[in-house]
A and B are shown apart, each in its own frame.
Chain A
């Protein structure tokens, strides 16, 4: 089974802090994704990566950056956290092969910015 592990289930940070969310997958997948989930809005794509050191903006990249130094690890960075970034963050990975590949998700990190 694919395992996607997010470093924290719950995280509380203060406004202005630099926040790192870590994600590791164990299936040698090329593609990795970061989403945020908010009530009434579903999942929205922040960034994704299709290879080491490669990244692409998703639908809501503002206020975020990402890092992919190793294939199995994809980090989401909040450069200067703000209260409107309080949300559930979900990481996913998926293999090459096109549109039919399902994405496999981690348990999520519930982030609160005070």
Chain B
């Protein structure tokens, strides 16, 4: 069965610190996609990034970077020089297609608190 584990329930950092959010997944599919979403206090989940199972290149977008390693089934998310506006709950998700329909399996989320 598909499963996504975010072992870190909550992380607290001080502004300008770097922080890494861990995501470990399980799947028997050879083709799959991984996603990261951000949920600020307002409640809406915001799509951040998508990565397919055949592309292990790391990606950087501003202060955000993602490290995908199939060998360890991990898709970790690093925020460099964190800011107060980064405070949110972050979800990692796996796209499951075994039924023929696109379904997302979510991790339990990591709450990031960035204090000034």
B106 in contact with A31 (CB, 8 Å) = no
- Whether A105 contacts B101 in the complex (CB less than 8 A), given A42-B106, A43-B106, comes out as no
Interface residues on chain A, number (Cβ under 8 Å): 30
- Asked if B82 is an interface residue, CB under 8 A from chain A, the answer is no
Taking a contact as CB atoms under 8 Å apart, the answer to whether B43 and A99 are in contact is no
CB distance from B1 to the nearest CB of A (A): 11
- Given known contacts A42-B108, A43-B91, A99-B95, A106 and B44 CB-to-CB distance under 8 angstroms: yes
B83 to chain A, nearest CB (A): 23
Mark A90-108 against chain B: 1 for CB-CB distance below 8 A, else 0: 1010100011111111111
Interface string of A71-94 (1 = CB under 8 A from B): 000000000000000001010101
Residues of B within 8 A of A105 (CB): 37, 44-46
The count of residues in chain B whose C-beta lies closer than 8 Å to any C-beta of chain A is 28
Stretch of B28-36, B57-65, B70-78 contacting A (4+ beta carbons < 8 Å): B28-36
Our pick among B33, B96, B107, B109 for the contact of A100 (Cβ within 8 Å) is B33
Taking CB atoms, residues of chain B closer than 8 Å to A44 are: 106
Q: In the bound complex, do residue A88 and residue B43 qualify as a contact, i.e. CB atoms below 8 Å apart?
A: yes
Interface string of B74-116 (1 = CB under 8 A from A): 0000000000000000010001110101111011110000000
CB-CB under 8 A from A40, the residues of chain B are 9, 108
- 15 of the cross-chain contacts (CB-CB < 8 Å) are A9-B43, A31-B101, A33-B104, A40-B108, A42-B107, A42-B108, A43-B91, A43-B106, A56-B99, A88-B43, A90-B43, A99-B31, A99-B95, A100-B50, A105-B46
